[in-house]
Amino acid sequence: MYAWKSKSWKTKFLWRNSRIGNFKSDISGKEFPENLKVNAGQIKSEILQKIREANPGFDETCCLSVSELNEYRNRYIQPRLCNADGTVSIA
């Protein structure tokens, strides 16, 4: 179909992803590729609660990007890993 041997991997990647639509994050309002979309119903309830603390209008019909979800995962897990003096707990 196409002569891929003459194309770089970046060209192949961009071409394949150009056919993927975009979505608008309900958290930041930024556009992301559709393959990075996470629906609210797919998020663990404890992390979803953290998201709702910062974004009260975020409901089951909303979505965000994987990178935004990872930020909230970090916010959820960080206090559980740190001791009172700020050191990281191993056990």
Q: Where are the domains of the chain?
A: 21-91
How far is the C-alpha of 63 from the C-alpha of 70, rounded, in Å?
A: 13
The answer to whether 37 and 20 are in contact (CB under 8 A) is: no
Dump pLDDT digits (tens) for 27-84.
999 999 999 999 999 999 999 999 999 999 999 999 999 999 999 999 999 888 877 6
Instruction: Tell me the Ramachandran region of residue 86: left when phi exceeds 0, alpha when psi lies from -120 to 50, beta otherwise.
Output: left
Using alpha carbons, list the distances in angstroms from residue 74 to 4, 47, 64, 68, 81. 39, 9, 15, 10, 10
Encoded amino acid at 53, one letter: E
Encoded tokens for 69: 């979800």
Model pTM score: 0.71
DSSP codes, 43-59: S-HHHHHHHHHH-TT--
Q: What is the pLDDT of residues 8-25, one digit of tens each?
A: 666 656 556 556 789 999
